[in-house]
Amino acid sequence: MLLKSLCQGWIGEIYILLVVLLCIIFEAFLTLQGWKMYANLLIDLFRFLAPFLRNAELTKPTQLLYKGTLRVLLVLLHDFPEFLCDYYYTFCDVIPPNCIQMRNLILSTFPRNMRLPDPFTPNLKVDLLPEISHTPRIVTNITPQIQAAFKKDLDSYLKSRARVTFLSELRSKLQISTEPGARYNIPLINALVLYVGTEAINYIHQKGLTPSMSTIAHSSHMDIFQNLAVDLDTEGRYLFLNAIANQLRYPNSHTHYFSCTLLYLFAEANSEAIQEQITRLFESVARSCSQHKQPGGVREAESWTEKS
């Protein structure tokens, strides 16, 4: 019993030291413009925690480390939100999909100079907000995560819908094993969703339009998203929808487009299973955080699906 108490006390000291050190290190890197180095430290921390969190194996030491990590993220959210805004994609790419609370702390961050609109304001016209035309800054280069040959076929389909077999082969391109819970290449799914989405936004803007339920429909970009929603199994669809949900943040062009995309997939779903999975995604996000820590794009899309 004495040994157990000593061990728990020692772990508690490590937990406090982790929070203090990471905050002090960030201050130092801030003055040296070393955000990338600090981001790499956090990525290593997330990767260390990932196997325990993915399998829900939270021993006492792991629980303390997890709580310490959440504390660090809360400090960053409050004092350095732009850092989390810039590196949100990189962090969410290594955080297990089932760690909804940790992911939402990152996704709920918004720049300090921005004032968020209340999504529950009566007759709020989201498509008239000036912020939805602003492109968010993303410091991660996602192109290397998409294999060159696959990207060539992807670009060809987005441009001219060439290779009619592209959609039918897409699911196999994302699979890496047959083991349940590890069938899919999650970084590739995340990169694919963001890449196709940004290409769609550029295409719509080039036509002088803004994303909406009508302007995103009947395009090569939506062909890909609808194919994934229908063709993937439950596990793959969960990862695909999570990749979309990772883009629902503060008001910007990405949040608006991907909100419209989720709503379109919900409205055009050919089965209740797809609609139920989208609804459960919103419910799990809502349960994991308070309203002020819930990503704004999620609240917007959730309110629409509730009406539906």
Contact 83, 35 (CB under 8 A): yes
Does residue 295 share a domain with residue 146?
yes
Phi and psi at 137, nearest 5°, equal -85, 130
9 confidence band (pLDDT: 50, 70, 90): very low
Can you give the CATH number for the domain in which 135 is found? 1.25.40.800
On whether residue 202 sits in a domain, the answer given is: yes
Q: What is the mean pLDDT of residues 4-14?
A: 47
Can you give the pLDDT at residue 25? Answer: 67
On whether residue 229 sits in a domain, the answer given is: yes
80 confidence band (pLDDT: 50, 70, 90): confident
The DSSP code sequence of 103-137 is HHHHHT---TT-----TTSTT--GGG-GGGGSPPP
Asked if pLDDT for residue 7 goes beyond 60, the answer is: no
Can you give the pLDDT at residue 34? Answer: 74
Can you give the pLDDT at residue 23? Answer: 64
Does residue 131 share a domain with residue 93?
no
How far apart are alpha carbons 15 and 26 in whole angstroms? 17
Q: How many residues does the chain have?
A: 308
Does residue 278 share a domain with residue 130?
yes
Q: What is the mean pLDDT of residues 289-296?
A: 48
How far apart are alpha carbons 273 and 24 in whole angstroms? 47
Contacts of 41 (CB under 8 A, 6+ apart): 22, 25
Digit-coded pLDDT (tens) for 245-272: 999 999 999 999 999 999 999 999 989 9
Domain count, the chain: 2
Digit-coded pLDDT (tens) for 14-54: 555 566 566 666 666 665 467 888 888 889 989 999 998 88
Can you give the pLDDT at residue 19? Answer: 60
Can you give the pLDDT at residue 147? Answer: 93
Q: Which domain holds residue 152?
A: 126-307
Which of 30-34, 101-105, 129-133 is the least confident region? 30-34
Q: What is the mean pLDDT of residues 102-127?
A: 81
Can you give the pLDDT at residue 15? Answer: 55
How far apart are alpha carbons 72 and 84 in whole angstroms? 11
Can you give the pLDDT at residue 62? Answer: 82
Q: What is the mean pLDDT of residues 140-162?
A: 92
DSSP bridge partners of 175: 184
Domain end (from 107, 140, 157): 107
133 confidence band (pLDDT: 50, 70, 90): confident
Asked if pLDDT for residue 64 goes beyond 90, the answer is: no
Does residue 241 share a domain with residue 139?
yes
Does residue 291 share a domain with residue 170?
yes
Mean pLDDT of the chain: 83
Query: What SS3 state is found at 246?
Result: coil
Digit-coded pLDDT (tens) for 156-210: 999 999 888 999 999 999 998 877 778 899 999 999 999 999 999 999 999 999 8
How far apart are alpha carbons 8 and 61 in whole angstroms? 8
Does residue 101 share a domain with residue 215?
no
Phi and psi at 208, nearest 5°, equal 75, 20
Q: What is the mean pLDDT of residues 274-301?
A: 65
220 confidence band (pLDDT: 50, 70, 90): very high
Phi and psi at 32, nearest 5°, equal -95, 10
On whether residue 23 sits in a domain, the answer given is: yes
DSSP bridge partners of 184: 175
Domain end (from 52, 74, 107): 107
Contact 259, 201 (CB under 8 A): no
Asked if pLDDT for residue 301 goes beyond 60, the answer is: no
